[in-house]
Structure 1
């Protein structure tokens, strides 16, 4: 017998949506406007995670104290607007003391586990404060520790969720409480089997919201951010960028993977598994509408969007003895695997490989995946070239490998640009090209004018 689940909407608010008291008040209004919202997932207040990442890197005493004072000022500024301040200030002070102790430990000896424990405090503080904002509106609200449900492995900094365990824990820990009160919980953080705090990587609050939505069989996941939906490209680069009212899971997934900042790349996976629509809108201007991401978009266009990922490094590996490509490729990929290195894009010839490494998801931000040990081992087996200061521009569309004229449409417009690498064919949705950073914005403007305007 098929179980019927109640209507539940999971609402996630990003850092700018809980940056200060006014932002939290706007977000609270959005929550209360929809009775179906039963679980609220929050990021840390804007700027807080960056401060915590700096503390986790280990700082001198005066720098450490300055960062903690800045953190305290952000939290106290919100508390100063609340009617009942004493109890919440004590809770925030307790968390700030934890941060201080962990930062002191990080100054002596850094570790990924300690970093996750420290960085998680941003979400712990923002959710405690948001609960108070809602309670002042006389709403029955409870704070919930996401670590009781979001079970992960122990890959600190970029932990992998254990989906089956999350669904089981959500049924036991979350669903009974959702029926009694509105719950506020943290994005970005989880725990491993030993109860140690883990994080899902930078921007992981979107992913958390989708995981909660999947576990609860939600009818929709709302992602509230500082832009009114998903655009054909970054409006800061091209003011004429157009908002897309409806896109498919696959289109949105490619956009996120290749640099669109509106959604975390992994967000689409849980939504696709349970066919849960994801709405993206602006908490500052909800009346502006937004973008609905769902399984199918009606009459999808050939060209959907342009995305950009910045500050990438091109790694080129050349065989020393012109051995056959299969042996050389196998050897190079084995080295990369031993160093737990994830690849984004790869092109090959008979005796050389050009590749871009995936360095975008760890807690510390742009993780340095080109470690000394990796480069040392590669250099002992091949000739290594590095080229920095590059940006990856990606055209996202539909059936790009099934129709003629795509490359002509793109590269006719880029004839004056120095294209360093091209990837096309592995996906029907993307055409990627690597450009020097100083020309990438110009390329996007030119392509957007030609393909979208």
Structure 2
């Protein structure tokens, strides 16, 4: 192929409805190098699925949420030119949503939750494949679980890179010679074939992992904003998109609050020197931000980020602060409970550190057991809602 091999990822707002999907389809069809498309669930779907997976509801309430999901998908289906070829498959997926949502153990089993949460991407890829076919290109709806092997940590699975690379070369790369492959973000499968998820926002990560596995040169992340901004444009009108960032800068920004990219996205890009482009699917003509190994220009500072909903933990003990191994004990407990520390500050008798608090994450794991274990060696104060 004369054009650089490209993977394009489209987020939830980019595939929210038929018109939005058409915009994305035109972007894909307009770039002969794009051979794999990764899609998120249509906007609103994942929130409904999270409610079904985590909230106790009456049978009637569950039915109402399932209907809300179906309504979003049917609005897209009804505008398809070849909807008859898709309708039966969509019905099967919606039936699977209902079966899982009404399962008596859905609130208690992480494996069932991941099966349910994966349904948004599975429906979205089915729909987008049909919309893309309307651009007179050959498409294929591919189940990413055949390729994206993970461990069995449901809800936050870790990809197994060697297996993914092997699977991608054997099962995915041959398909892109004859069709544009449309597949799911966020979703994987463990060694036993059970559905897993990479955590909220994991579709970016999926695109980067697949780009690495098939040897793509470019990974495009299409969102609802024109690139990565100098700061949150909702805070100040002075914010503007950056033409370029280095891998390191993008990784730091993603980790410390920039919501345009998933923090893990940069890891595969750095390993294989894959160029990452971030742009708006609504206004592709406005360009976006290129994230590359080395930037041509390096200003004194690139951008400002903001982190919300932080948890601050303060550990204090006047007797042991300077005792050998005290901090090692504290952070060993944190590591044991799989918590990731972001910022640390120290004083003569205390140490404070912050933890990110995304939905369904730290709030569930920073539990009484963790605090009780810390309290065996020091006094502990936990404060929520820091910005």
TM-score, normalising length: structure 1? 0.82
Among candidates 282, 285, 291, match of residue 284 of structure 1: 282
CA apart distance, 1:294: 0.2
Secondary structure of the corresponding residue to residue 228 of structure 1: coil
Q: Shift of residue 262 of structure 1? A: 0.6
What SS does structure 1 have at the residue aligned with 2:352?
strand
1:31 corresponds to 2:28: yes
Displacement of 1:254 in angstroms is 0.5
CA distance in 2, matches of 1:345, 1:92: 45
2:15 to 13, 18, 33: 18
Segment of structure 1 superposing worse, 340-349 or 247-256: 340-349
365-374 or 78-87, which deviates more: 365-374
Aligned with 2:132: secondary structure? helix
Distance in 2, matches of 1:331 and 1:142, equals: 52
Q: Is 1:69 aligned to 2:67, yes or no?
A: yes
| 1:287-319 CA-partner distances (Å, limit 9, x unpaired) | 111000000111311111011110112110112
Give the Cα separation in 1 of the matches to 2:182 and 2:263: 23
Change (3 A) 1:264 1:108: closer
**What per-residue deviation string (whole Å, max 9, x for no partner) do you get for residues 171-215 of structure 1?**
000111111111100111111111111111111101110111111
Task: Give the superposition deviation at 1:107.
Answer: 5.6
Matched, 1:44 2:52: no
Kindly name which structure, 1 or 2, has the bigger radius of gyration based on alpha carbons.
1
Q: Distance in 1 between matches of 2:386 and 2:47?
A: 24
Question: Unpaired runs of 5+ in structure 2?
Answer: none
* 1:229 to 1:134, Cα distance in 2 relative to 1, 3 A: same
Which residue number in structure 2 is paired with residue 155 of structure 1?
Answer: 153
- Look up the SS of the partner of 2:342 in the other structure: strand
User: Cα offset for 1:367?
Assistant: 4.2
Q: CA 1:67–1:159 in 2, change beyond 3 Å: closer, same or farther?
A: same
Q: Is the 8 A contact 1:320 1:381 kept in 2?
A: no
Task: Select 2:329's aligned residue among 288, 310, 331.
Answer: 331
Match status 1:53 vs 2:54: no
Q: How does 1:203-218 map to 2 (within 5 A)?
A: 203-218=201-216
Give 2:367's aligned residue.
371
Question: What per-residue deviation string (whole Å, max 9, x for no partner) do you get for residues 323-362 of structure 1?
Answer: 53433212212222222222122223444221112444x7
Residue 316 to residue 64, structure 1, CA distance change in 2 (3 Å) = same
Change (3 A) 1:48 1:150: same
Cα pair 1:150 1:166 within 8 Å, conserved: yes
Report whether the alignment pairs 1:123 with 2:138. no
- TM-superposed deviation, 1:366: 6.0
CA 13–365 in structure 1, closer or farther in 2 if over 3 Å, else same: farther
Give the structure with the higher percent strand: 1
Q: Does the 8 A contact of 2:230 with 2:302 survive in 1?
A: yes
Aligned equivalents of 1:252, 1:357: Cα separation in 2: 20
Instruction: Tell me the number of residue pairs that the alignment of Structure 1 and Structure 2 aligns.
Output: 386
Indicate which of 162, 183, 186 corresponds to 1:185: 183
Cα offsets for 1:388-441 (capped at 9, x unmatched): 2211xxxxxxxxxxxxxxxxxxxxxxxxxxxxxxxxxxxxxxxxxxxxxxxxxx
Residue 304 (structure 2) pairs with residue 267 (structure 1)? no
Q: CA deviation at 1:5?
A: 11
Q: Is the 8 A contact 2:309 2:357 kept in 1?
A: no
Deviates more, 1:63-72 or 1:364-373: 364-373
Task: Measure the CA separation in 1 of the matches of 2:339 and 2:93.
Answer: 35
Q: Is the 8 A contact 2:313 2:383 kept in 1?
A: yes
Residues 146 and 5 of structure 1: CA distance in aligned 2, closer, same or farther (over 3 Å): farther
Match of 1:383 in 2: 379
Residues 147 and 189 of structure 1 are in contact (CA less than 8 Å); yes or no, is this contact kept in structure 2? yes
How far apart, in 2, do the equivalents of 1:284 and 1:61 lie?
38
Residues 170-179 or 331-340, more deviating:
331-340
